[in-house]
Chains A and B, each alone.
Chain A
Amino acid sequence: MTAQTLFDKIWASHVVDSPLQEQARVEALTGAGLSVDGDAGEKQEMLYIDLHLIHEVTSPQAFEGLRQAGRGVRRPDLTLATVDHNVPTMGRDLPNPDPLSATQIEMLRRNTQEFGVTLYDIMDPRQGIVHIIGPEQGFTQPGMTIVCGDSHTSTHGAFGALAFGIGTSEVEHVLATQTLRQQKPKSMSAEVTGSLGTGVTAKDVVLAIINKIGVKGGTGHVIEYRGSVVESLSMEGRMTICNMSIEGGARAGLVAPDETTFLYMKGRPHAPAGDAWEEAVEAWRSLPSDEGAHFDKHVHLDGTEIAPYVTWGTNPAQSVPVGGHVPELHELPEEHHESAERAYAYMDLTPGTPISEISIDRVFLGSCTNGRIEDLRAAAKVIKGKKVASDVGAMVVPGSGLVKMQAESEGLADIFTESGFEWREAGCSMCLGMNPDILSPGERCASTSNRNFEGRQGPGGRTHLVSPEMAAAAAIAGRFVDVREVVS
């Protein structure tokens, strides 16, 4: 048998074999006067979805579509809802001051109730960012297909699950049929060998990969992250890397499941237990890519050469190591000059400025990229006993209610508040600027989130993407500093 990738195996085991669909395809092609052999168009396949995560922002129109067509939800028992994008991170016991947000959240309550879908509502301790709670509850498992109306669904790929973001029409399709019509993407191997130095994190690895392949380097591909650096990362770190696959254009990222994966999962509320656990683990061990499996594209990085990264521009590929400077035009390929010039202006940066001379106004620690317990521990370690710079406003938004509770029980919340960070309730918050947590025009933010697009964190706001450790060090110094000099 041909050697298969992890991606090939998951894909093949989820294709719904449908003679009727094949017949319809043949009819369409012959009807259009075309041949039906493999070359006549890429073949769309119907993929079964094991877990469908939904949230308040991209689902209301999908439920309304079902209602209008008189359709139901095929598998409410494979669907999980929470509120995250649009919830306030403070004053949750008070009425929501924004009537539009309140209506959207209320719609999710009504829709989940009407269609029988489980909802982790705003006061549920399990509420949180949809990509944090899936793994936390043990819903995210190797070999599964997982979708959500959110591009950072790629996060779940850290467990060796094929997980990707979809639009609202596709959300409706999954609700009605528990399947999706998709063409199989190509595969890409991103191999990171060697090891990481102290103070260098998964966030820096993924920023380095995106810097190398560019924001469209992964378009049309599913990336499998491999190599000794990836293998040695914790599940939290693997999630951070897979999370940002979409920033390199790839809909999904994957890491082969291994002992680290199983150790993280065992005993979680919805992970298999008893004999089922043994049976599942045995099956999961057969998932990793076979020796010699074919990838359509390759990229390689040496982990020992990766430094903490800081983005300087308005897309996630516009980044440099912290010891560097805002690149001059002549240091960039010509096709990037125009976007670099727009970024200099928007970010109010002069080419050649050392990164360590860029001072900041705000720090945001959180998001589906870096809002897990390990991220908070790492940041707390950097700030312990120190004070946030007097002219910097800093906040921590834990990724879930359970992350928040754990951080409080470990004493991390006290470390943050004593050093001057605000300690908030779980949600997406300032990652996307949908709730009241936004930057003011012109404010500059060191952010652990995933996108530095113009206005992403609020109109006119300027975002620099960094790791939690780097964000913490910047909060104390009031400017970017090399965290390796702070911790050593």
Chain B
Amino acid sequence: MVKGKAVPMDRANVDTDQIIPAKHLKRIERTGYGEFAFEAWRSDPEFVLNRPEHADAKVMITRENFGSGSSREHAVWALDGLGIEALIGEGFADIFKNNCFQGGMLTVELPADDIDHLMEVVGKQPESEVEVDLEAQTVSLGDVSWQRHFDIDPFQKYRLLRGLDDIGMSLEYQADIARHESTRPGWLPATS
């Protein structure tokens, strides 16, 4: 469950180069990217993330194809560094969406009409609280005066709710993996 103020990112096709520019991908840690998030756009004092009323938002409202471009998971880490815990948008790019899932960042897809409504409400009344309830699969505004259901793959939901470690789970299937390996054609290349 994520509940808090929201910031409206009212642009289509926000690419991962905007979320975190390449020159800040030189760190070898998963943290420390928040201060560089949306660096170029933040040079504009009117940019939505510079406005004090959205300073402590936990939810970002986005348009279509958010997170397009590079596979850099640093984009998720940068949003996390800004304090964002959930994204609600018209659509997300494939690799970015996978990365969000891996990083525990909830992505909720809603139709454009609903996003229009959310953009308008959080733009005009920035103190409005948006609640994303993963268990119930709902997005609500304020005291549930407006509520929408969202779809999520049940298995993925289960893993997010339980905070399961993907690698740990997959390592339990080592015998299956080894059996598959024994059927691979002999001509396949090896690097060493």
Binding site for B on A (CB under 8 A): 16-21, 24-25, 28-29, 31-32, 34, 40-44, 46, 48, 50-51, 57-58, 60-61, 64, 69, 71, 74, 76-80, 85-86, 98, 100-101, 103-104, 107, 116-118, 138-139, 141, 144, 149-151, 153, 164-170, 172-173, 176-179, 181, 183, 185, 215-216, 219-220, 246, 249-251, 270-272, 276-277, 279-280, 283, 315, 338-339, 342, 432-434, 451, 453-456, 459-460
- A46 near B173 with CB under 8 A, answer yes
Within 8 A of A (CB), among B158-192: 158-159, 166-174, 176-177, 179-181, 184-192
Name the distance in Å between B104's Cβ and chain A's nearest Cβ. Answer: 10
Q: Could you list 20 further interchain pairs (A-B, Cβ under 8 angstroms) beyond the known A138-B189, A339-B12?
A: A16-B180, A17-B176, A28-B155, A32-B157, A46-B173, A57-B25, A58-B71, A61-B30, A76-B191, A85-B22, A98-B26, A103-B28, A117-B191, A167-B102, A177-B170, A249-B65, A250-B94, A432-B17, A456-B17, A459-B21
In the complex, how many angstroms separate the beta carbon of A174 from the nearest chain B beta carbon? 10
Given A20-B173, A61-B28, A48:B94 Cβ within 8 A: no
Q: Is the beta-carbon distance between A107 and B188 smaller than 8 angstroms?
A: no
Please tell me if the beta carbons of B102 and A170 are within 8 angstroms of each other in the complex. Answer: yes
Q: Is the CB of A25 within 8 A of B155?
A: yes
* With contact pairs A17-B180, A76-B192, A170-B102 given, residues A454 and B73 touching in the complex (Cβ less than 8 Å): no
Q: Which residue of B lies closest to A16 (CB)?
A: B180
A219–B29 touching, CB < 8 Å: no
Point out the residue from A98, A116, A183, A456 that lies within 8 Å of B192, measured CB to CB: A116
Are the C-beta atoms of B177 and A86 separated by less than 8 Å?
Answer: no
With A79-B191, A118-B192: A86-B176 Cβ-Cβ less than 8 Å: no
Known: A139-B189, A139-B191, A173-B170. Is A149-B71 also a contact (CB below 8 A)? Answer: yes
Residues in A with CB closer than 8 Å to B173 are 16, 18, 20-21, 46
Question: A60-B28, A219-B94, A455-B21 in contact; A71/B167 too (CB < 8 A)?
Answer: yes
- The one of A57, A141, A249, A454 that contacts B93, using a Cβ cutoff of 8 Å: A249
Using CB atoms, name the residue of chain B closest to A148: B71
| Nearest-Cβ distance from residue B103 to partner chain A, whole angstroms | 7
- Interface residue B124 (Cβ < 8 Å from any Cβ of A): no
Most A Cβ at <10 Å: residue of B27, B70, B190: B70
Once bound together, how far apart are the Cα atoms of A315 and B64, in whole Å? Answer: 14
Given A61-B28, A169-B73, A276-B186, A151 contacting B191 (CB threshold 8 A): no
For B159, list chain A residues within 8 Å (CB). Answer: 28
Q: Which residue of B lies closest to A270 (CB)?
A: B189
Give CA–CA (A138, B188) in the complex, Å. 10
| Chain B 1-45: CB-based contact to A (< 8 A → 1; otherwise 0) | 000000000011101011001110111111000000001100000
Asked if B95 is at the interface of the complex by the 8 Å CB criterion, the answer is yes
B52 within 8 Å of A (CB atoms): no
CB contacts (< 8 Å) of B177 on chain A: these are 16, 46, 48, 74, 177-179
